[in-house]
Chains A and B, each alone.
Chain A
């Protein structure tokens, strides 16, 4: 067998994995890989040259969230690697399969403080699911296979593979393993049947049940099973931020999002429930508020593929370690056997009546008479005018919460948002990843004026690849979420949250070759959105919104989730 070099091995392995897109940035340590890519693989991979490595990882992450396939990054050593750290931590917290390849200085120089050297494996150990330093070209193919398996199975997550320059240049025979045996890595996928039976018994008896569904349902592709289960049992469904889209937001059984900025009825329902069926969710502090006050009367069934998520923050009656799709499928079977569907739904009449009362008591609302643009109105209009069919990415802060509250997601993989790490600057590059994956779909980044400036340089990437992304900036001139906390809890001392200088976003868009639009009154919102949607290329819309609007309901950090500030 002819020998090929490490760069060729890497790219052939990626081809074998079915990779079609790579996000990245070249540099000295990876120049050989880029050379081979340009010479031999230009018809295999679409390469997206970002303007900052952080954006490469977010774009790969957005690609992964939108498609379900791992997102791939290739960056250089040293600063190339360190710039990926926020992207990796974002993907890690949200369990997104991303494989990042970093260049490294040649093995004889490792540890010598060589030019553009960083111990990236050491740096990224706590923010990757696993990582590797490949010290020998003979191990390269197997390592890549392992990286893909680990990244995309079980609870997915980012994996980093560090490639010293001499390993990339060295030659070896190439045979890509179909699979490799990982003796120390065996995620539990199938649900334990006795636990499923116990869960089915509790479900059959529940009088005030709630399904609490998270991102794991989307990861597992279990949205159809979830819907079937909810409709069969008549159980209402509330979703975490990461879970939005795993159950149709427009479904009569949907309670909307729960937690700190969740709906009144979702939080009330959870805290009055006698049975909580948690699926692919991890009882995050933004969901539970004060743990002791969370669903105090409920028995809890917790389905999660990661054993560490179970019993971590909250004790549960029935732990089920399994893939959500497998577990929900088994649960549906078990319930069918018990013959509980009609009788079950009748028993829930009082509960559903109560849910309706809560819905009518407190709906999401804002001042609809305002001439100044209310940010909620912008999101609502975006929802209406896109018929709910766009892929939405968000930044972090108020923009993220308004997007979660006012855009009803009916389909999984249509909301790309940094839920766990809360990374400002995530949404725009994530939108790039989704748009590259789906050139014909409408992709909108709902942004704030603060967040958008954290990766604004990617307008050049959008221009280079003619990506028709629409960026809706809810521009209040503040770091709005922090300002809201300062208003509520820090005596209105707006300590350094007033962004007193900002670029003219319209001119900025034009400088990058995009269309820039601005709306300053409520009446202008609809025509401006329409114009943006009619435009083929990228559009930046500067919505000059009410400066001091807040996101409500709001549960103060550390309070019980029924202690909502409603306003």
Chain B
């Protein structure tokens, strides 16, 4: 069985209990949630959820249909079916006494992260990017000693339909 990763974007009404309906549907039907991120859209009466899940084609089809069946769900899109951009933000605190500080800063810099908090013996950095980038930076930081980390889970947006491509000369 090929359990591919799917990124599903769900537009929902911004009402009480909607997150519970979505999360409850997943747990009640034994579907996986790898991550779920939710916040209001530009129009405050709707929220957008980005759900990362995995499963066979049949399971993913069921997930999408079951999401559509929920009364408060407006639109469901499997972004993995097309081009999309996804990002995740991680806040990670590492042990960093003076001797290690330079190395942490260098790694952070390579991944275009930022330092958001420093103390005598630790540095907290933020890094955003795709899941693989986040995993790469964490792998590099772990020998230094990660004391705490928080990830947002992915958020994702489909690429605009008329992305200019290097080969295209439509304009």
Interface residues of A (CB under 8 A from B): 121-122, 125-126, 129-130, 133, 150, 182-185, 306-308, 311-312
Contact of B65 with A184 in the complex, beta carbons under 8 Å: no
Question: What are 18 of the A-B contact pairs (CB < 8 Å)?
Answer: A122-B20, A125-B20, A125-B21, A126-B24, A126-B28, A129-B71, A133-B16, A133-B17, A183-B74, A184-B71, A184-B72, A184-B74, A185-B71, A307-B65, A307-B69, A308-B65, A308-B66, A311-B58
Cβ-closest chain B residue relative to A307 = B65
Judge whether B83 is part of the interface by a CB distance below 8 angstroms. no
User: What B residues does A133 contact at CB under 8 A?
Assistant: 16-17
User: What A residues does B28 contact at CB under 8 A?
Assistant: 126
Question: How close is B152's CB to chain A, nearest CB, in angstroms?
Answer: 26
User: What A residues does B13 contact at CB under 8 A?
Assistant: 184
| Given A125-B17, A126-B24, A306 contacting B69 (CB threshold 8 A) | yes
Contact of A184 with B24 in the complex, beta carbons under 8 Å: no
User: What B residues does A182 contact at CB under 8 A?
Assistant: 71
Scan residues 5-64 of chain B and give those whose CB is less than 8 A from a CB of chain A.
13, 16-17, 20-21, 24-25, 28, 58, 61-62
Judge whether B101 is part of the interface by a CB distance below 8 angstroms. no
Cβ-closest chain B residue relative to A155 = B69
- The number of residues on chain B lying at the interface, defined by a beta carbon within 8 Å of a beta carbon of chain A, is 19
User: What A residues does B20 contact at CB under 8 A?
Assistant: 122, 125
Contact of A312 with B62 in the complex, beta carbons under 8 Å: yes
Question: How close is A509's CB to chain B, nearest CB, in angstroms?
Answer: 41
Scan residues 88-144 of chain B and give those whose CB is less than 8 A from a CB of chain A.
none
User: What B residues does A150 contact at CB under 8 A?
Assistant: 71
Other contacts beyond A121-B17, A126-B28, A308-B66: 9, CB < 8 A: A122-B20, A125-B21, A126-B25, A130-B71, A133-B16, A150-B71, A306-B69, A307-B65, A307-B69
Cβ-closest chain B residue relative to A159 = B71
User: What B residues does A126 contact at CB under 8 A?
Assistant: 24-25, 28
Cβ-closest chain B residue relative to A321 = B65
Question: How close is B68's CB to chain A, nearest CB, in angstroms?
Answer: 7
The complex places the Cα of A184 from the Cα of B68 at a distance, in Å, of 9
User: What B residues does A125 contact at CB under 8 A?
Assistant: 17, 20-21, 24
Cβ-closest chain A residue relative to B66 = A308
Cβ-closest chain B residue relative to A310 = B65
User: What B residues does A130 contact at CB under 8 A?
Assistant: 71
Contact of B68 with A307 in the complex, beta carbons under 8 Å: yes
Cβ-closest chain A residue relative to B12 = A184
Cβ-closest chain A residue relative to B62 = A312
CB < 8 Å: which of A121, A185, A311 contacts B61? A311
Question: How close is A397's CB to chain B, nearest CB, in angstroms?
Answer: 26
User: What A residues does B72 contact at CB under 8 A?
Assistant: 184
Cβ-closest chain B residue relative to A309 = B65
Question: How close is B1's CB to chain A, nearest CB, in angstroms?
Answer: 15
The complex places the Cα of A50 from the Cα of B65 at a distance, in Å, of 38
User: What B residues does A129 contact at CB under 8 A?
Assistant: 71
The complex places the Cα of A306 from the Cα of B66 at a distance, in Å, of 10
The complex places the Cα of A480 from the Cα of B62 at a distance, in Å, of 36
Cβ-closest chain B residue relative to A135 = B16
User: What B residues does A183 contact at CB under 8 A?
Assistant: 74
Q: Across chains A and B, which 5 residue pairs bring their CB atoms closest together, nearest first?
A: A308-B65, A130-B71, A126-B28, A307-B65, A184-B74
The complex places the Cα of A185 from the Cα of B71 at a distance, in Å, of 6
Judge whether B73 is part of the interface by a CB distance below 8 angstroms. yes
The complex places the Cα of A185 from the Cα of B12 at a distance, in Å, of 12
Cβ-closest chain A residue relative to B69 = A308
Question: How close is B74's CB to chain A, nearest CB, in angstroms?
Answer: 5
Interface centre among A126, A182, A308, A311 (most CB of B within 10 A): A308
The complex places the Cα of A184 from the Cα of B74 at a distance, in Å, of 5
User: What A residues does B16 contact at CB under 8 A?
Assistant: 133
The complex places the Cα of A184 from the Cα of B65 at a distance, in Å, of 14
Question: How close is A476's CB to chain B, nearest CB, in angstroms?
Answer: 36
